[in-house]
């Protein structure tokens, strides 16, 4: 089980790293984007394998990537988006979107609605994870500014 999780993390790191490279980021930022992609996917897979719901797994993966990208943005003095976009790439439910459209085109509206609802829920969970992490980072930043 651990071997499968680490292998999935390596694949996710590759996908996120190539995405960061495609976005023409700095060579050091490509590595950080790849590591965040692996982090998010590993969190997602661990929650899925331990019996957690898919929505919670998407939320936790996106939240971990967003918090880590905000932390890296603070340390390296780059925008968090540089790390967030490649890090979230493995979590995007593209397969669910494809299956939804495939079921709709073939006339299976019940299946299309079920898959569409699950895909929309996954996208919402990812957005909520990013929003909460960003809000926490902003509150922490304001707290640090007031302390100075």
* CB neighbour list of residue 41: distance below 8 Å, 6 or more residues apart: 8, 9, 11, 12, 61, 90, 91
- Give per-residue pLDDT as tens, 30-48: 999 999 999 999 999 999 9
User: Is residue 148's pLDDT more than 70?
Assistant: no
Q: How far apart are CA 132 and CA 135, in angstroms?
A: 5
Q: How far apart are CA 112 and CA 144, in angstroms?
A: 48
Q: What average pLDDT score do residues 103-109 get?
A: 95
- Predicted confidence band of residue 72 (pLDDT cuts 50, 70, 90): very high
148 SS3 class? coil
Query: Does residue 55 contact residue 125 with C-beta atoms inside 8 Å?
Result: yes
On whether the pTM is more than 0.85, the answer is: yes
Query: Does residue 19 contact residue 89 with C-beta atoms inside 8 Å?
Result: yes
């Amino acid at each position: 089980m651990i071997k499968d999780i680490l292998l999935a993390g390596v694949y996710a790191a590759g996908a996120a790293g190539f995405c960061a490279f495609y976005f023409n980021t700095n060579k050091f930022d490509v590595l950080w984007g790849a590591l965040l992609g692996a982090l998010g996917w590993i969190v997602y897979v661990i929650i899925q394998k331990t019996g957690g719901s898919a929505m919670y797994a998407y939320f936790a993966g996106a939240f971990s990537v967003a918090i880590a990208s905000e932390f890296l943005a603070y340390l390296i003095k780059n925008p968090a988006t540089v790390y967030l976009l490649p890090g979230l790439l493995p979590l995007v439910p593209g397969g669910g979107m494809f299956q939804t459209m495939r079921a709709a085109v073939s006339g299976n509206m019940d299946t299309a609605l079920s898959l569409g609802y699950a895909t929309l829920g996954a996208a919402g969970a990812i957005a909520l994870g990013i929003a909460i992490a960003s809000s926490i980072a902003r509150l922490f930043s304001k707290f640090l500014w007031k302390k100075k």
